[in-house]
Every structure is written in C-alpha cells, then in structure tokens.
Amino acid sequence: MIRKVLFTAITLFGLAVGAQAQDNVATDAPVKKKEVAKIHYGIKVGLDMTSIDGKGFSAATNVGFDAGVFFEYRLSKHWGLEGDLLYTRFQNRASNFKGYYNTTADLSTANNARVNLNYLSVPLLAQYKFTKVLSIVAGPQYSFLFYDDEELIHYKGAFKKSNIGVLGGLQVTLNNWRFYGRYVYGLNNLNAAGVNENYKWNTSDIQVGIGVTFK
C-alpha cells in the first residue's frame, strides 16, 4: 500500500515537471508572448485525525490541528506545484506501554500517558486540476518534531525528531477559498525509546481544512 502511494506521488511529480518542460519547447509557429506562470499564496487551517501505528499505543483516532501558509506555482492549465509551511499538533495516548517497553517511567504515568507531538511540516506537492474546482495533490512531506509533551520515558524523548511521509488528497477551489482533505502516512520508524526498538512506530494523519488565497 505504502509503495503504491509513494509511486503515485513520484509519478505526479514527474508528470508535472514534464508538463512544464513540454510547454517550454520551441515550435515553428510564430512566437507569441507567453503568459507567465501564476504564483498564489495564502493561509490555511485544519483539523487532524491522528494515530500512531505501533505496539503500546491506543488504536483510537485523536483530534489535533494544523495551521500555516501555502504557496502555489501554476505550471499550466492543469498542472501546478504547491508547498506548505505548517504547524501541526499531533495527539495520541499510550495503551499498556510498559507491557511492551521496560522503561523507568512510573507505571501509572507511562501506561496511559497522553502524547502531544508538535511538528513543523513542509509538504511539497504536485497538483493536477481536473476542472477549475476539483484537483488532486500528492507528494512527500518532511516533519520536524520541535517539542514533544509525553512521559513515556524519564529524562528522554521517546520519539525521533525527523519524519518523512507521503501525502495524497483532494481539493475543492471556490474563488479565493479552498477546501481540502488529505491523508499523510509517516514512513519513518519514530521509536527512539531505546528499548524494544524492533517495535516500529508510524504516524497516520487524516486532514480536513480550509484555506484562503490572497493572490
């Protein structure tokens, strides 16, 4: 499943770059002044339904949020590139954590500890517009964990700082407003607990949100 998502993201990037290259090829037709690709930017905010796939964590989905800015570069009528800079609050809860990991944290604290992860996320996406209203996006996302609030292990963060994921989603654009739904899967094993590192921790994030374009 993950390989298919990654392959789709890479394919969309390749097609977007190919579309731009094709537009730049000279022809024998009379040269006509070409319209400059448009740049758009704005702000966005959304709700995140987050979970951690791994032993010792609740299977329930928790609600977080994201907020930030986006930049869009139109390559052609159908193709574009988008980059975001987002603050993402990722929430989950441990479940029988000490049953899998022999940590020094207090049993009552670690077993059902609340996990709050605060990321700076940068998705770099290819965008394909089916119509003026409906488009799809796909591509990689890099996330940096700048602050984690959890008590799974004493004196040490249990999560690795960097996470690379793959993202895919749909977007509806109405004038200056955009409404989006996305799914992000983290490819990295985030387990930095130092005990039972054979257990992998991967993040899943379903996002729904709204953005407004200023230009």
Mean pLDDT calculated for residue range 40-68: 94
Strand ranges (E), the chain? 39-53, 62-74, 79-93, 114-129, 134-149, 162-174, 177-186, 202-213
Is residue 93 a contact partner of residue 120, using CB atoms and an 8 Å limit? no
pLDDT of residue 95: 86
Higher pLDDT, 158 or 49: 49
Give the domain ranges of the chain.
Answer: 2-19+39-213
Mean pLDDT calculated for residue range 172-178: 96
Which residue in the block uniquely carries the two structure tokens 């995140």? 48
Domain at 2-19+39-213: CATH code: 2.40.160.20
Quick one: what percent of the chain has pLDDT higher than 70? 77
The pair of structure tokens assigned to 150 is 């959890």
CA gap 104, 110 in Å, rounded: 9
- Name the least confident of 17-26, 107-116, 130-139, 180-189: 17-26
Render pLDDT for 67-102 as a digit per residue (tens, 0 to 9).
999 999 999 999 999 999 999 999 998 888 878 877
